[in-house]
Amino acid sequence: MQFFVDTAIADEIRELNDYGLLDGVTTNPSLIAKSGRDFKEVVAEICQIVDGPVSAEVAAMDHAGMMAEARVLAALADNVVVKLPLTLDGLKACRQLRADGIRTNVTLCFSANQALLAAKAGASYISPFLGRLDDIHLDGMALIHDIRVIYDNYGFDTEILAASIRSGNHVKEAALAGADVATIPPAVIRGLASHVLTDKGLDQFVRDWQATGQSIL
């Protein structure tokens, strides 16, 4: 499974990219607003940090506005993926951008039918929001399973990008469900490497090694 980081903070992206853990980045207007910086400058900087896809979201809600903004965003870097809302206007823009060779990420997906429409429109990625479904007592992971079956049934090439990830367990379950990508907050990515027994074992190794009085160097 590919790992994208869900942030617009350049320093966090650099850190995780240096570990070799990142395949891409997702952003949205809310995340970039928190950075307090110019939207296009932030997107361009992130695209220089990582080689993989960088999702940058349009702000317009109408088809003409989406198309105009999409062309500006796509011109920022070769690895920009234009993020579109899962609305009829968004799907129309998705179809047109696909025909123009511009990759898209259709976002805010909450049903299998929505995911089916996005695939038919030619989306490069579909972003089902797991945590937000869980928040209203629906099974977000079941949605990943359903989309996987539908896409496999019909040979759609749209990749399932599990979003609104809240925990390491979400990451594991999304991988088991067959998500192609998970976009994950930085803290959750770091936490995937942690386990109490790993920490305990390392503490014991360090004590045992120190007791030998030896040095490898």
Active site members: 83
Looking at residue 192, the DSSP 8-state letter turns out to be: T
Radius of gyration of the chain (CA): 20
Answer for the pair 80, 56: CB distance below 8 angstroms, yes or no: yes
What's the CA gap between 71 and 102, in Å, rounded? 9
Measured in Å, how far apart are the chain's first and last C-alpha atoms?
A: 38
Q: Residue 131 burial (CB < 10 Å; 0-12/13-18/19+)?
A: middle
What's the CA gap between 201 and 31, in Å, rounded? 38
Task: Pick the closest to residue 140 from 107, 168, 164 (CA basis).
Answer: 164
Token representation of residue 38: 């110019």
Answer for the pair 57, 80: CB distance below 8 angstroms, yes or no: no
Q: Which neighbouring-strand residues pair with 61?
A: none
Q: Which neighbouring-strand residues pair with 128?
A: 109
What's the CA gap between 126 and 114, in Å, rounded? 9
